[in-house]
Structure 1
Amino acid sequence: MSKKGKLYIILVAIAILGIVAAEMTKPKQLNWFPSYATHHKIPFGSYVFHEQLKRLADTVTIVERPPFEYLKNNTIEGTYLFYNGGIEFGKEEINSLLDWVSRGNTLIISAVGFEEHLLDTLNLDTKSVSITENFNNEYQVNLVNPALDNKRSYKYERPTTFYHFDEIDTLQTAVVGLIDSYRGENMPIKDSLVNSIRQPFGAGHIMLSTFPQAFSNYFMLQSPNQNYSAGLLSYIDTSKPIYVDTYYKTGKTYYTSPMYLFLNTKSLKWAYYMVLIGAFIYILFEGKRKQRAIPIVKPLKNQTVDFTRTIANMYYENGKHKDIAQHKIHHFLEYIRNTLHLSTSEINTSFIKNLAARSNNTIEETETLFKLIERLSQKSELNAIELERLNTLIEQFKSHNQWKKTTS
């Protein structure tokens, strides 16, 4: 390799190492993915809420199956808690949940959107909060129960679209919380935008909230917002089992990819990237140096001998001894003309003497062979013994002439 090529490789290697060093020393970017998973410690995970719930409640059960399947066990009772960015139940599933609530249990759903069938059943409708006068995307929420410090507002400033209950059945529905644009520290909400409600259903209760961020790490760790989340939990009977759904969570409860450990650990991730970059450089430079292997093409096999042997066997098996004898005689005469350079147009005594001399055979052997040829040529049919006799004499005659081929 030339000096110029080596210089280019060194410069590329230095650049790659510089990029890797800069990336490894760069602060890790914050993950704002709205997972709401109970084991996630990212801003929109719910690790803090789950830990506090276990501390306050007697029994907390994580449910990793769909409620339609889980509620087939009729012994389950208590509170079923759902919170996520969006939840879409099927019609049969929401009916099974409502039947379960009607038997004296509590259902809490906190999400941006709700099942249409559920809203129709409870005579509810939702509408987005106007942002015409709230370009900073700052919101405040509070609780209406006087026992929960209803004069305090809790701030939330992440950009998002919030919803409120536009139509409610005031005879059956109790307002739990309100939401509006941020108006200042401890400023009460003037416009009644209802975002949390509670309604009896059969022997049980249903509580709905359009503010699932109340259960996120980001909201609860900003004091005093934890009081708002605690106020929502005050509507739950903590002496009974609480079932927390993880089936409808956006974030996974476990990692299915084996590459998670590599890509989630900075040092392993960059080691993996370096291996890929090194392999690419090796292929790029090493591939140009080596010529592609040239395949070996086998020459065509001469099938003449095999073909002749096949035809001869066919004639022999069919009993055409006369035809085989004629071919043998014609080939023998051709051999004399081409190899011994004698004319076969006239077979006489002079020809026999010259042929015997040139082929290293005796005159008697030569005469015997040609007498046999003459006799067989005159016969119309031959048997196998006569054909074998002809072949033996011709081969013996040729064998005496082999020394000429060896010395030539």
Structure 2
Amino acid sequence: MDKKGKIYIVLTIIALLGIVVFESTKPQALNWYPSYTKHHKIPFGTFILHEQLERLFSKHNIIDVERPPYEYLNSNDSITGTYLFINNQIGFDKAELDKLLDWTSKGNTLFIASETINKTLLDTINANNSVISSLNNFDNVYQFKLKNKALKKNDSYTFDKADFINYFNKVDTLNTSVISVVNNAADEDLQTTKDYINTIKHPFGNGHIILSTLPQAFTNYFLLTNPNQNYTAGLLSYIPASQPIYVDAYYKSGKTFYSSPMHVFLNTKELKWAYYIMLISVFIYVVFEGKRKQRAIPVIKPLKNQTLDFTRTIANMYYEKQNHYEIAQHKIQLFLDYIRTQLYLDTNVIDTSFVKKLADRTNNSVKDTQQLFKGIENINNKTTLTKNELEALNTRIESFKSNNSWKKTF
């Protein structure tokens, strides 16, 4: 690698180290994803809630259920206690809801905290819900109050991270108890006159159904905002303390966090940057060192046509030995081959007809052609030849060939 390439690599490494230092010292942005899972310490996780459940209730009574409710109740039909659902959305199908209601009617408690409540469930308890208008509430500030006087440690509890709040605009006033209400006061000094029902308790068979439209009340962010933990504790006080609490872990939006094995890498800062540095290092290797290496292919010059040099060498050998007769014989044979290959005439029989055809094809006279072949015949009848006679033969043959009119077309 040349000097320039090494400089580029050093600059790249320095830039990467600078990025790592910058990212490691930069304050990490809060993740406001509505997870509602017990493992997450993000604002809308429920890590603190699960710690408090084990503190407020007996630890062995807290049971996490990671299976669908229908499947779990179908295989554990004799269990009793409270089934607790907390998520931004919970979508029961008909069979599952019927299973839950049948289990509740046997003296158990169904506790659901969700922004949207199943319409079939609302119809079952003769209730309906709607959304609080927030036309004048630009800061999304809502105040919540507990209706049970024994639980009123504070007049109101404020929550400022809700885009909207659902409430119950219709309830069965004869059978339904109101646990808490909400108003949309945008300022602490501004008191609204209307409260909206957001948590209710309704008897069902020998059991009870508790519905809340504020699942955020059970999240880390809400519980860490003093004195909001009193509001959450007030809602949980409606759960029978002596019975098991089955905490749903199936209907959780945060489950999507663990759908990929890369979650561990990308959600741990140190592992995430180790992964990124590995990818960048592989890229640098491919660019600078990953090229295909092989021995240099030598440049092979094409072979030269040595026919002319070979002919000259052989001719010089004959010439140096003064063997004029053999040179004349080679010259005659080459001339006859020329006639066969270039003029397409048979040279086995040299007679008057042959001489006439050859003269016509070469643009030579019949007389000159006859004299050329008469000279060739005289040489063939000799055993020795002088230098002058050899040169005279060569001159006649070359002169004869120079008049060849077929050279222009072949």
Return the TM-score normalized by structure 1.
0.67
For residue 71 of structure 1, what is the aligned residue in structure 2?
Answer: 73
- For residues 93-147 of structure 1, what are the alpha-carbon distances to aligned partners after superposition, in whole Å with 9 as ceiling and x for unaligned? 0011111111111111000111121111122211111110100111111111111
For residue 282 of structure 2, what is the aligned residue in structure 1?
Answer: 279
Matched, 1:36 2:36: yes
Q: Aligned pair in 2 of structure 1 residues 4, 293: CA closer, same or farther (>3 Å)?
A: closer
- For residues 161-213 of structure 1, what are the alpha-carbon distances to aligned partners after superposition, in whole Å with 9 as ceiling and x for unaligned? 21111222212211111112135559866312111111111111101000001
Q: What is the alpha-carbon distance in structure 2 between the residues aligned to residue 114 and residue 186 of structure 1? A: 32
Q: Which amino acid aligns with 1:66?
A: P
By how many angstroms is 1:241 displaced? 1.2
What does 1:187-198 correspond to in 2, within 5 Å?
A: 190-198=193-201
For residue 60 of structure 1, what is the aligned residue in structure 2?
Answer: 62
What does 1:9-158 correspond to in 2, within 5 Å?
A: 9-58=9-58, 59-72=61-74, 73-149=76-152, 152-158=155-161
Question: Percent same amino acid among aligned pairs?
Answer: 56
For residue 218 of structure 2, what is the aligned residue in structure 1?
Answer: 215
Q: What is the alpha-carbon distance in structure 2 between the residues aligned to residue 33 and residue 78 of structure 1? A: 30
Q: What is the alpha-carbon distance in structure 1 between the residues aligned to residue 261 and residue 81 of structure 2? A: 38
- Comparing 92-101 and 50-59, the one that deviates more: 50-59
Aligned partner of 1:205 among 205, 208, 219: 208
By how many angstroms is 1:38 displaced? 1.5
By how many angstroms is 1:249 displaced? 1.3
What does 1:367-382 correspond to in 2, within 5 Å?
A: none
Q: What is the alpha-carbon distance in structure 2 between the residues aligned to residue 48 and residue 293 of structure 1? A: 68
Answer with 1 or 2: which has the greater Rg. 2
Q: Is contact 1:152-1:187 (8 Å) kept?
A: no
For residue 169 of structure 2, what is the aligned residue in structure 1?
Answer: 166
Q: Aligned pair in 2 of structure 1 residues 75, 293: CA closer, same or farther (>3 Å)?
A: farther
By how many angstroms is 1:272 displaced? 1.6
Q: Is contact 1:153-1:186 (8 Å) kept?
A: no
Q: Aligned pair in 2 of structure 1 residues 292, 227: CA closer, same or farther (>3 Å)?
A: farther
Q: Which amino acid aligns with 2:29?
A: Q
Q: What is the alpha-carbon distance in structure 2 between the residues aligned to residue 189 and residue 201 of structure 1? A: 33
Q: What is the alpha-carbon distance in structure 2 between the residues aligned to residue 63 and residue 293 of structure 1? A: 67
Q: Which amino acid aligns with 2:234?
A: G
3-state DSSP class of the match of 2:253?
coil
3-state DSSP class of the match of 2:179?
strand
Q: Aligned pair in 2 of structure 1 residues 159, 208: CA closer, same or farther (>3 Å)?
A: closer
By how many angstroms is 1:32 displaced? 1.5
Q: Is contact 2:265-2:272 (8 Å) kept?
A: yes
Q: What is the alpha-carbon distance in structure 2 between the residues aligned to residue 262 and residue 71 of structure 1? A: 36
Q: Which amino acid aligns with 1:54?
A: E
Q: What is the alpha-carbon distance in structure 2 between the residues aligned to residue 3 and residue 53 of structure 1? A: 65
- For residues 236-282 of structure 1, what are the alpha-carbon distances to aligned partners after superposition, in whole Å with 9 as ceiling and x for unaligned? 11011111111111123994544344333322221221111011111
Q: What is the alpha-carbon distance in structure 2 between the residues aligned to residue 66 and residue 232 of structure 1? A: 24
Q: Is contact 1:196-1:208 (8 Å) kept?
A: yes
For residue 372 of structure 1, what is the aligned residue in structure 2?
Answer: none
What does 1:248-263 correspond to in 2, within 5 Å?
A: 248-252=251-255, 255=258, 257-263=260-266
Q: Is contact 1:179-1:195 (8 Å) kept?
A: yes
For residue 401 of structure 2, what is the aligned residue in structure 1?
Answer: none
Q: Which amino acid aligns with 1:107?
A: L
Q: What is the alpha-carbon distance in structure 2 between the residues aligned to residue 242 and residue 166 of structure 1? A: 29
Q: Is contact 1:87-1:115 (8 Å) kept?
A: yes
Aligned partner of 1:231 among 231, 234, 258: 234
For residue 8 of structure 2, what is the aligned residue in structure 1?
Answer: 8
By how many angstroms is 1:287 displaced? 4.6
- Comparing 4-13 and 243-252, the one that deviates more: 4-13
Superposition RMSD in Å = 2.5
Q: What is the alpha-carbon distance in structure 2 between the residues aligned to residue 234 and residue 292 of structure 1? A: 81
Q: Which amino acid aligns with 2:64?
A: I
Q: Aligned pair in 2 of structure 1 residues 125, 6: CA closer, same or farther (>3 Å)?
A: same
Q: What is the alpha-carbon distance in structure 2 between the residues aligned to residue 19 and residue 150 of structure 1? A: 50
For residue 374 of structure 1, what is the aligned residue in structure 2?
Answer: none
- Comparing 232-241 and 257-266, the one that deviates more: 257-266
How many equivalent pairs are there? 294
Matched, 1:264 2:287: no
Q: What is the alpha-carbon distance in structure 1 between the residues aligned to residue 248 and residue 85 of structure 2? A: 5
Q: Which amino acid aligns with 2:57?
A: A
3-state DSSP class of the match of 1:251?
helix
Q: What is the alpha-carbon distance in structure 2 between the residues aligned to residue 128 and residue 292 of structure 1? A: 76
Q: What is the alpha-carbon distance in structure 2 between the residues aligned to residue 187 and residue 55 of structure 1? A: 37
Q: Aligned pair in 2 of structure 1 residues 85, 191: CA closer, same or farther (>3 Å)?
A: same
Structure 1: 5+ residue runs without aligned partners?
A: 295-408
Q: Which amino acid aligns with 2:184?
A: S
Q: Is contact 2:257-2:263 (8 Å) kept?
A: no
Q: Aligned pair in 2 of structure 1 residues 280, 254: CA closer, same or farther (>3 Å)?
A: closer
Q: Is contact 2:89-2:114 (8 Å) kept?
A: yes
Q: What is the alpha-carbon distance in structure 1 between the residues aligned to residue 156 and residue 34 of structure 2? A: 23
